[in-house]
Amino acid sequence: MTQGGRDGYVPREKQLTDSRLWRSRQLGPADRDALADTVEGIRRVDAGFDFVHQDAPADRLHVVLDGWAARSKLTEDGQRYLPSVMVPGDLCDLDALLFDRLDYAVTALTKCTVAVLPRERLLALIASRPGIAAAFAWLGLAENAVLTEWSMSVGRRSAHERMAHLLCELMVRMTAAGRAEGHSFDLPLTQNHLADALGLTAVHVNRTLQALRASGLITVKDRRARIHDWPALSRMGGFRPDYLHLDAVDQEVELPLPAWRPDRCGAPVLAFST
């Protein structure tokens, strides 16, 4: 998955406008201008190819402008695992800001358009503009929260719950990215991708999706996910959107989710005492 594949390096444009970074509350207009100027170029990558390589020297960050990508790691015995999935607008490899090599690759799950930002210029911006520093810090910490929730899913939830949780998360993130229509969104992941993200088998993903459809919660068909019963789905997945920390996002888009507010999100808050 690493070489081959059209990987055109289009001359510089500025199209960060739809990215999560761009929408950060912490940024002022001047910050946004500065960021836009940082874009070194735009790459187009075919589905299935890595545009960031594991263990290779890293000196630039990547923002998915269009398409889906994922971080990807291999276990010693060759199983693939996707510790995080990037939807359009997401920053792929924040760690490249400080680390010289990454311990994951970033794979294009679909044909992708990717903005490339040179590390040095970003570091300079961070040093000189508190707003930009704050935005990156926020993104980093939010990412930690998402990873934590992800790992709890994998560690403690059943296949059905995990799938429900992931679909809820993607629904909310796609909505926040302005890429959802009502209760449905484009889901270009194959069942293999889902399996690698959830720590399951493709076969089992298939059966799980069928079960969720059979209970009338969702349908996934023709690369499109539709959520028919959000309250039930979020309850099943134990999903509460807090950990996504979307409150740092300028939200022109109204979130059309019926159970958006925590107190309506299903799971009763457990008393946490002896």
Partner DNA sequence: CGCCAGATTGACACGGCTCAAGCGGTGTGG
Partner DNA sequence: CCACACCGCTTGAGCCGTGTCAATCTGGCG
Which residues make up the interface to its own copies (CB under 8 A)? 1-4, 50, 53-55, 71, 73-79, 81, 83-84, 94-95, 97-99, 103-105, 127, 130, 133-134, 137-138, 140-141, 143-145, 147-152, 154-157, 198-199, 235, 238, 242-243, 245, 266-268, 270, 272-274
* CB-based contact 20:90 (threshold 8 Å): yes
Residues 170-199, one symbol each (x = binds DNA by CB under 7 A, - = not), give: --------------------xxx------x
Cβ distance to its own copies smaller for residue 9 or 99: 99
Figure out which of the listed residues 14, 207, 224, 264 binds DNA, where binding follows CB under 7 A: 207
10 Å CB burial of residue 4 (0-12, 13-18, 19+) is exposed
Cβ distance to its own copies smaller for residue 29 or 274: 274
Two tokens, residue 178: 């302005």
Two tokens, residue 133: 């520093």
Cβ distance to DNA smaller for residue 169 or 196: 196
Q: How far apart are CA 215 and CA 212, in angstroms?
A: 5
3-state secondary structure of 165: helix
Q: How far apart are CA 127 and CA 195, in angstroms?
A: 40
3-state secondary structure of 128: helix
Give which of its own copies, DNA, none residue 124 binds (C-beta under 5 to 8 Å, depending on kind): none
What is the contact surface with DNA in residues (CB under 7 A)? 158-160, 190-192, 199-204, 206-207, 209-210
